[in-house]
Chains A and B, each alone.
Chain A
Amino acid sequence: MFDLDRWQEIYHVLRKNKLRTFLTAFGVFWGIFMLVIMLGSGNGLERGVTQNFGDMATNSVFIWTQQTTIPYKGFPRGRNYNFTNEDVIAIRHSIPEIKYLAPRIQAGGFMQTNNVIRGLKSGVFNIMGDYPAFNKIDPLNFKQGRFINDLDIKEKRKVAVVGTRVVDILFTKDENPMNQYIQIQGVYFKIIGVFASKRTGEQADQENQNIYLPFTTLQQTYNYGNAVGFFSITSRDDIPVSVVEEKAIRVLKKRHSIAPADESAVGHFNLKKEFDQMQGLFFGIRFLVWIVGTGTLMAGVIGVSNIMLVVVKERTKEIGIQRALGATPWNVISQIITESVVLTTFAGYFGLVIGVGLLELINFLLGSSGANTEMFVHPGIDFSVAVTALCILVVCGALAGLIPARRAVSVKPIDALRYE
């Protein structure tokens, strides 16, 4: 099957019209090249966006207070209200589907004046009061120490968990921030943990400027009474988060005398919904890429098939001679199909290699330039996709050769011999 004469013939045929061979091969090359580039870029975009979610549990919902818009039970519209510690207890007791419930309260950080001081250094940071459960919903990457624990909450300890950016600003490079004290809005707190965000880009920069205090400590220290800023809730793994979302909002509306029909009094954000939409978007992108990519590839393969038809026509007499000398139809068919497969596979392989090479180059440039690539992380394709693409190419090459090959043997030997 793979003898020297066969390759000699393939070489002769492909070399006979170099420009034509090149252009045909380029069609296939371009098809697979585009497929690789588009798939790789799609992957890069997807990785970038999913990394923005960090390790956050996707079955999470966030609930906060807004103004009421419907008068109810004697209250006017446009009323402001606060969630309270009692809401936390009520939600936990009435909704068993909840896995984690993390109330949070925020103290300043949006003010432009420096609110955190250490010695001569100071900075503006977001101050959050949190429960231990928050680190389960939106986990942080700890460099040192730990997150707030139940004892901190219970004893209202004056401890703080700070981001790397906070450390960079308040400490010199060789200082260890652990167990050091910083002054937050006039009160001293001991640092018990340092974390880095798991997100990328601007979102990571934002998160690294956060300072987490025990929820109860913050409430008492800065006179928030029993007010709660917002809830982060995660549903149990077998329960859709939208169920928990609805129930929690119903409970809160009832407790705060809000009209059941008031859609905007309770602000909420369902991460799962967002995540699903994103997934849908990426599915759409991938689908489109495959349609366009395989379309381009098909155009290339059809080009190969066309050229093989021309080649077969040109070589009619030669094939006639071979058949007169004893070449069976299978000899002729396999020869032409091999030619087609060789051309397609070679061109496709180059497309694959150069496509992957370009993706790697982009990767390298993105990495070395240190650009803020929040939306585009590590473009590339899976090895299995590459192998699949090559297999498809071989099959396509064989199919492309099939029609011309059948055409070649459908001519009677004598007609082939007489062909000029």
Chain B
Amino acid sequence: MITINKIHKSYVTGQNSLHVLKGIDLNIEAGEMISIMGASGSGKSTLLNILGILDNFDSGAYYLNGLKIDRLTERKAAQLRNKMLGFVFQSFNLVSFKNAMENVALPLYYQDVPRKKRNMIAMEYLERMGLKDWAHHLPNEMSGGQKQRVAIARALIGKPKVILADEPTGALDSTTSLEVMDLLHEINATGITVIIVTHELDIAKRTGKTIRITDGNITEIIKN
């Protein structure tokens, strides 16, 4: 599903250049559930952003579902994110003035699905998350766990091949964290590849494979 070869990435600020990824090689099969661990500043988030086509890389090659990702126009990148990828963020990143249903339906809006139809589909996904009664609530009226479930529903509605989760449980208490992990497991069980960036060992342990990144290099791959 995902193949990357010798990915390099540096951040240049004025005179200084910070080499964040130093030639990463990684192969992720379809249907895998993996976690990426590392200390802060190790480059794990940068890797996830590159995988999510939110950021570019300096050299190397990235194939997503067989498609070479290289110097895409912003338009093409947006369409790929919309069709292939689903994002789950630590801080949920819901749109504040849209209710839960509208937030979930947002990816379909960019696919020009008619409003009625996309809201109907969004309701189905919310029902699966057990949030049907909260469909018309704004994000600031919901708890963290609920928000993250809305975010997951939103990540799923575009029927992506890969879910990218950046510290999905970082802002949640342990009980809710477990619920969210269960949810991600369920999603993985339907055949969707799930990649989770985390620094919590408990969370990493519940994935099929853990990749440890230190100083921009993969130092360890552990099968759980």
Q: Which residues of B in the span 62-103 have a Cβ within 8 Å of any Cβ on A?
A: 74-75, 77-79, 81-83, 87, 89, 93-98, 102
Contacts of B102 in A (CB 8 A): 5
**CB distance B95 to A321 under 8 Å?**
yes
**Do residues B87 and A409 form an inter-chain contact, with CB atoms below 8 A?**
no
Judging by beta carbons under 8 Å apart, are B107 and A325 in contact? yes
Q: Write out, one digit per residue, whether chain A residues 251-288 have a CB within 8 A of any chain B CB (1) or not (0).
A: 00000000000000000000000000000000000000
Q: Whole-angstrom distance from the CB of A407 to the nearest CB of chain B?
A: 14
Contact residues in A for B74 (Cβ distance below 8 Å) = 328-329, 409
B78 touches A321 (CB 8 A): no
Are B54 and A5 in contact, CB atoms less than 8 angstroms apart?
A: no
> Contact: A328 with B49, CB < 8 Å?
no
Further pairs besides A5-B109, A330-B75: 13, Cβ < 8 Å: A9-B97, A321-B94, A322-B106, A324-B81, A325-B82, A328-B75, A329-B74, A329-B75, A409-B74, A412-B55, A412-B56, A413-B55, A417-B93
A326 touches B82 (CB 8 A): yes
B115 within 8 A of A: yes
CA gap between A12 and B102 in the complex, in Å: 14
B147 interfacial by beta-carbon distance below 8 Å? no
CB neighbours (8 Å) of B110 from chain A are 322, 325-328, 331
Residues of A within 8 A of B87 (CB): 324-325
Inter-chain contacts of B82 with A (CB < 8 A): 325-326
Least CB separation from B56: chain A residue: A412
**Smallest beta-carbon distance B35→chain A, Å:** 21
> A5-B109, A321-B93, A331-B110 are contacts. A326–B78 as well, Cβ < 8 Å?
yes
Residue A414 lies at the interface, judged by CB distance under 8 Å to chain B: yes
Residue B40 is within 8 A (CB to CB) of chain A in the complex: no
Interface string of A328-353 (1 = CB under 8 A from B): 11110000000000000000000000
* A-B pairs with beta carbons under 8 A, tally: 67
Could you jot down 27 A-B contacts, CB within 8 Å? A5-B109, A9-B97, A318-B95, A318-B96, A321-B95, A322-B110, A325-B107, A326-B78, A326-B79, A326-B83, A326-B107, A326-B110, A328-B74, A328-B75, A328-B79, A329-B74, A329-B75, A329-B78, A330-B75, A331-B110, A412-B56, A413-B54, A413-B77, A414-B54, A417-B54, A417-B89, A417-B93
Min C-beta distance of B123 to chain A, whole Å: 16
Task: Write the nearest CB–CB distance from A415 to chain B, whole angstroms.
Answer: 9
Interface presence of A388 (CB below 8 A) = no
For the complex formed, measure the closest distance between the CB of B90 and the CB atoms of chain A, giving whole angstroms: 11
Looking at chain A's contact residues, the main secondary structure is helix
Q: How far is the CA of A12 from the CA of B95 in the complex (A)?
A: 11
* A198, CB-defined interface residue at 8 Å: no
| B78 and A327 form a contact (CB under 8 A) | yes
Residue of B54, B55, B75, B96 with highest tally of chain A CB at under 10 A = B54
Which B positions have Cβ atoms within 8 angstroms of A? Answer: 49, 52, 54-56, 74-75, 77-79, 81-83, 87, 89, 93-98, 102, 106-107, 109-111, 115, 154, 158
**Given known A-B contacts A12-B97, A318-B95, A413-B54, A325 and B81 have beta carbons under 8 A apart:** yes
Most A-side CB within 10 Å, residue of B75, B78, B98, B158: B78
CB neighbours of A8 from chain B (8 A)? 97-98
Q: How far is the CA of A322 from the CA of B158 in the complex (A)?
A: 14
| CA distance in complex: A330, B52 (Å) | 20
Q: Contacts A9-B97, A413-B54, A414-B49 given; indicate if A325 touches B111 (C-beta within 8 A).
A: no
Instruction: Write out the residue numbers on chain B whose beta carbons fall within 8 Å of the beta carbon of A12.
Output: 97
Q: Which residue of B lies closest to A410 (CB)?
A: B74
Cα(A412)–Cα(B72), bound, Å: 13
Closest chain A residue to B97, Cβ basis: A12
Contact B115 A326 (CB under 8 A): no
Q: Would you call A3 an interface residue if the criterion is a C-beta within 8 Å of the partner chain's C-beta atoms?
A: yes
Residues on A with beta carbons closer than 8 Å to the beta carbon of B109: 5
The residue in chain B whose Cβ has the minimal distance to the Cβ of A15 is B97
Over the window 1-33 of chain A, the binary record of Cβ atoms lying under 8 Å from chain B Cβ atoms (1 yes, 0 no) is 001110011001000000000000000000000
In the complex formed, the residue of A with least CB distance to B50 is: A414
Does A323 interact with chain B (Cβ within 8 Å)? yes
- Cα(A327)–Cα(B82), bound, Å: 8
Chain A, residue nearest B94 (CB):
A321
Residues of A within 8 Å of B49, CB to CB, are 414
Cα-based distance from A8 to B110 in the complex (angstroms): 15
How far is A4 from B109 in the complex, measured between Cα atoms in Å? 11
* Chain B residue nearest to A415 in the complex (CB): B55
Collect the chain B residues with CB atoms within 8 Å of residue A9's CB.
97
B89: chain A residues at CB < 8 Å are 417
